[in-house]
Structure 1
Amino acid sequence: MSERKVDELYFSASSLRTYRTCQLKFKRRYIDGLFWPDDWVKDKEKKETQRLGQLFHTLAERYYLRGKVVDSKEVIEDKVVKWLERLVDFRPYNEEDQFLPEHRLQFNNQGLKLLAKYDLLHITQDNRVVIYDWKTYRSNSKKSFLKRSMQTIVYRYLLARAGGDYSQTGEWAAEDITLIYWNPRFPDDSKELPYTKEQYARDEDKIKNIIEQIKETNFAVDEDVLATSEKNNCLSCEYRPICHGEPALEIEPKEEDLELMEDWDEIDPISF
């Protein structure tokens, strides 16, 4: 497969984090275009976790599109039915506010190209916006990790920078934006992350710096592309058969790996 030109790419939180974790993995996935099917994970429990998470995201999208739960409970697993009931209790739909589920936002300005797909944007009558991100993994991420995660950085920054069309004033102040992570397995433990203009400035610098590093990397020569120095990242990587001729191992992921494992809608987050 021919190489893609980095200057043509749009970057997501997943792609930026992949580059920071392992430049070689970034090359395999986003430059060479080697995408593995969803079923490359062999562990049955992990595959089931992934399947249930995907189903929950689909049902959540339908709820906010239609304003009510219309899917028959007879054809949905009891666990996911319970998750959906908890979602309705946690963030009920109302006709006064605007709800945009599975909403894609893309931005291109002077070489800064970003995109994100939000699980839910909730725009309130008083012109504030809440980003909701659904997590369904078996453990609940710590707030300290989520504050510094690439997903948090990109999601809030991109909405502030490019989401003004959804605001009554034509733009969002950073203080108008809040990001909430919520896991239906832990319904009373949501993680709320407000935004400030100081955070916005720091996020912009960080995003631009990473993209600049990506553009300066010579992906044409494998020897110039740095592989991860973290052993577990390498052992569990889907590209291990290419790099080392050995199958990837099923090991328990670290907390920082969970955000990539759950970004199913961003498996191919770069477009042209």
Structure 2
Amino acid sequence: MNTSPNSTPEEPLSEESSEGESDSLLPEDFQFSQGSLQDFDDCPRRFLLRHIEERPYPAPEAEPIRENERRKERGVRFHELLCQEHSGVPREAIRRQATGDEKLEVWWDRYVHREPVGETDRTYAEISLEGEVAGYPLVATYDLIAERPGGTFEIFDWKTARYKPERGQLVSRLQTKVYPFLLAQAGSGLTGGDPPEPEQIKMTYWFAEHPGDPETFEYSDYNAKVDEEDLQDLVGKILAGTERAHFEKTEDRTHCKFCTYRSHCGRGAQAGNIEDGSSYLEETGSTQADLDDVEEIEF
């Protein structure tokens, strides 16, 4: 809770109140996600501007602007096609929706040819889960969660960027921590009982431009404990920010190349180029497709 600017030293908080209140700039109703945590990890100032102050974006994300927007729009469309695929829509109908966009047709055909999801008992497309970290809600929307015969679960995340990041880059991304951690914490709605054990979970990134080279990460009790500690530590650092100056600009200026706040921070007006290889970790994110065919999962 923010301390009122009109409070005076002559009116100190009681011991009970001081223990229960915080001077953190973070709103009390804030919900954490892998995106917001990634923003803080990349640059605390970006987190402040985007998630606390909710500043409008003063600069384009990447150049060329129109090409970048086309790529992101195509990525959203691809996510929609795969949401339909795992919601019972016939493949012939899905394929027709890709007609006219050569790249989208290629992606779809690669997906159908590879069948990356494989055998399942059930799939959950574009499903949202909510758990908690350090007393705050932690939320995520998954591209797909596949329940396997035998009770194991595999998280799939569809990536449509031209360049495939190194495995080490994916290891360090908050998404790789948050998604399996949250499923192990809040996945009881999928099992009808206790949530999946960490050993029953793995996560796979599937790349439409590199269909034969997915990246899969096994999960474990050890991973879950380490991730919980890391996430709590990250949130603790955010909560410790009681003044704007505590949210400092990153010292790693590679994060500024594709940041929409770079001009606001005096880190350059020119956006980075989308052809700059894996330095541009393009994010499309999940899409909540408006489909009558999509089954709603209640928790």
- Asked if these proteins are the same fold (TM beyond 0.5), I'd say yes
Structure of greater Rg: 2
Residue type of the alignment partner of 2:180: R
Unaligned regions of 5+ residues in structure 1, if any?
Answer: 267-272
Give the secondary-structure state (helix, strand or coil) at the position aligned to 2:105.
helix
* Structure number with higher helix proportion: 1
The aligned counterpart of 2:259 is 237
After superposition, residues 203-222 of structure 1 pair within 5 angstroms as: 203-218=227-242, 221-222=243-244
Residue type of the alignment partner of 2:37: L
- Aligned in 2, Cα 1:204/1:250: closer, same or farther, shift over 3 Å? same
After superposition, residues 109-258 of structure 1 pair within 5 angstroms as: 111-167=135-191, 169-218=193-242, 221-244=243-266, 247-251=269-273, 255=278, 258=281
The aligned counterpart of 1:53 is 75
The aligned counterpart of 2:47 is 26
Instruction: Give distance in 2, aligned partners of 1:262 and 1:139.
Output: 12
- Aligned in 2, Cα 1:74/1:246: closer, same or farther, shift over 3 Å? closer
Output one character per residue of 1:129-148: Cα deviation in whole Å (capped at 9) or x when no partner: 11000011111122232223
Give the secondary-structure state (helix, strand or coil) at the position aligned to 1:61.
helix
Using the TM superposition, name which of 42-51 and 223-232 deviates more. 42-51
Give the secondary-structure state (helix, strand or coil) at the position aligned to 2:165.
coil
Output one character per residue of 1:176-221: Cα deviation in whole Å (capped at 9) or x when no partner: 0010110111111011111111111100000011011111112xx4
- RMSD value, Cα: 2.8
- Aligned in 2, Cα 1:37/1:160: closer, same or farther, shift over 3 Å? farther
Task: Report the TM-score when normalising by structure 2.
Answer: 0.77
Contact 2:26 2:238 in 1 (8 A): no
Contact 2:129 2:187 in 1 (8 A): yes
Shift of 1:108: 3.6
The one of 33, 36, 57 aligned to 1:15: 36
Contact 1:64 1:93 in 2 (8 A): no
Instruction: Give distance in 1, aligned partners of 2:76 and 2:199.
Output: 31
Contact 1:129 1:177 in 2 (8 A): yes
Shift of 1:240: 2.3
Give the secondary-structure state (helix, strand or coil) at the position aligned to 2:199.
helix
The aligned counterpart of 2:4 is none
Contact 1:135 1:181 in 2 (8 A): yes
Identity across aligned pairs (percent)? 24
Shift of 1:34: 2.3
The aligned counterpart of 2:90 is 68
Using the TM superposition, name which of 178-187 and 71-80 deviates more. 71-80
Contact 1:127 1:168 in 2 (8 A): no
